[in-house]
Structure 1
C-alpha cells in the first residue's frame, strides 16, 4: 500500500503540547514500536529540529533515526554512505519544514529522490509538514526562492497536481495560488490549512484529517476563466 500524508502545518515542530497528528502517524504504521526516520534537509539539518523529532516520537515508543547531509553523524544517524537499505527498512519517513527548493537539490544530487520513490512503492509511509508536504507533488507553491512572493516549484512528482501549505495562516497564499492557477503555471492543486493533513492512497486523495476546528484542505483549479476553490470534508482526530 502506497501512502503519503501531507501536513499543511502543525505537529511537533509547531505545537507546544503533543499533537494529535504525530500520534496519528504512529498509528498509521500499524506497529507497536515503528521505525521512524526524520529528514530535516529543508532546514539544513538543524540540531534543534532533530532533537525535537527524537523527543516527540521517541516518547511515543518509536525507534527514531535521522538522515542528515549537513551534520556529522551521531548515534541516531543513518549514514549518508548507506542510506538506501536503511530507509527501505523504515515503517515511516517524515520530512520537516524549511526550504523546499534547497532540499530537492540536495536529494537529487545524492540520489535520495530515487530512494524515496522506491520506499513509497515498497509500502513505507511517507509524511511531512510544510516543505515536507509539498515535496511529494508535481509542484509546490513555495517561498523557497527567498523573494517577496510565493512561486511554483517542480517537486518529486510522486503525487499528481500542486500543493500549497499553511493556507489558513496568510491571505497572500490564497491570492498567489489563485493567480498561479489563472496563469496556468501550477496544475490543479490541494491547499492545506495549518492543523490539517491530506492522506493519499496511491496517487488518489483518500481523506483529510483535522485537529483544530475550521481547519481543512481545499481543491483549487481553473475552470474556464474562473478559479474554483472547494473545501473538503475533514475527519476530526484527537478529540
Structure 2
C-alpha cells in the first residue's frame, strides 16, 4: 500500500547510533515507514545521499540498519552517473524515499540536472512517502538556510516548493543558524515557516502540517512569522514517538503552535 495522501516527513534526524552496530533506523525514519502503510511484505526504502556526494561508506551503515529493521533498502546515486537505468520506475516502486543531509545547494543542482525533482513530485502524488533530515528536510520547502557555501549560513529561496514556506534546521545545535534564518525572514528573502531542533520532525499531508513528532523528550519545533519587519517564534510541542527500547504507546500529544512565543526580533 501507499500513504493515504501525499506525505512528507521533514526532520532533524534519521539514522541513530546503534548499541552494537554502527547505525539503526531512528524513530523519525521508522515513523516515515509506518506512514507508508506497508502490509504483507518488507517495506521498500531508497536512500538518496546526493547532498553528501554519494559516499559509499555511508551506504554500508544504511544497509545494515535497514536489515536490522526488516527493510528492503536501496540507493539512488548520481556520482559518477545515475546507478539505475530508469529512475522513475525505481522511485514509484518505493514506499519511502529518505534523503540524507549535506549540501542543499549541490543536492538541488544535481537533482534538477537529472530531472529527479520532477520524478520525486510524481512519486509524492502517487503515495510514496518523501522524507529526510537536514538538507533532506529543507529541500521539500520553498526555501531554507544552509551552510552549503561555507562556514557561514546562507538563505536559499528556491527549494523544490512541494511544501509551503521556509524551514530552519539544527535550531538548538548550531548557534549560527537561528540568527541567519530569522534575518532572512525579517528582510523578506525567505517566507514564514518552521524551525526544528535536533530529533524533531514535521509531518505533512499534501501541503498541510498534520503532526509534529520527536524522538526525544524536551525537543521542540518553532513556528516563525514575520510582522512589520520582525519575526515571532512560537514554540510547538511535538508528540514523542515510541522507540523500540520503550513501549509502543504515545507518551505525549501534539500541541498546536500557540503554546509559547518569543519576543519578535
Q: TM-score, normalised by structure 1?
A: 0.91
Counting only pairs closer than 5 Å after superposition, residues 116-195 of structure 1 correspond to structure 2 as 116-195=120-199
Structure-2 residue corresponding to 1:11: 14
Instruction: Give every structure 1 segment of 4 or more consecutive aligned residues whose post-TM-superposition deviation is greater than 3 Å.
Output: 14-18
- Aligned to 1:53, the other structure's residue is in SS state helix
Alignment correspondent of 2:28:
21
Aligned to 2:110: 106
Counterpart in the other structure of 1:210: 214
Q: Determine if contact 2:143/2:155 at 8 Å carries over to the other structure.
A: no
Gaps of 5+ in 1: none
Structure 1 CA distance, aligned partners of 2:167 and 2:81? 32
Residue 53 of structure 1, CA deviation = 1.6
- Does the CA contact (< 8 Å) of 1:7 and 1:128 recur in 2? yes
Aligned partners of 1:160, 1:198: CA distance in 2, in Å? Answer: 12
Distance in 1 (alpha carbons) for counterparts of 2:143 and 2:204: 16
Which shows bigger deviation, 22-31 or 228-237? 22-31
> 1:139: how far off?
0.4
Q: CA RMSD in A?
A: 1.6
C-alpha deviation, 1:147, in angstroms: 4.4
Higher RCO structure, 1 or 2 (CA under 8 Å, sep 6+): 1
3-state SS, counterpart of residue 194 of structure 1: coil
**Number of aligned positions between the proteins:** 232
TM score, norm. by length of structure 2: 0.83
SS in 2 for 1:24: helix
1:67 is the counterpart of 2:76: yes
- Offset of 1:58 from its aligned partner? 2.1
Cα distance in 2, alignment partners of residues 54 and 25 from structure 1: 17
Which of the numbers 192, 212, 237 marks the counterpart of 1:233?
Answer: 237
The 1:15–1:140 alpha-carbon spacing in structure 2 relative to 1, beyond 3 Å, is farther
Is the 1:45–1:71 Cα contact (8 Å) retained in structure 2?
no
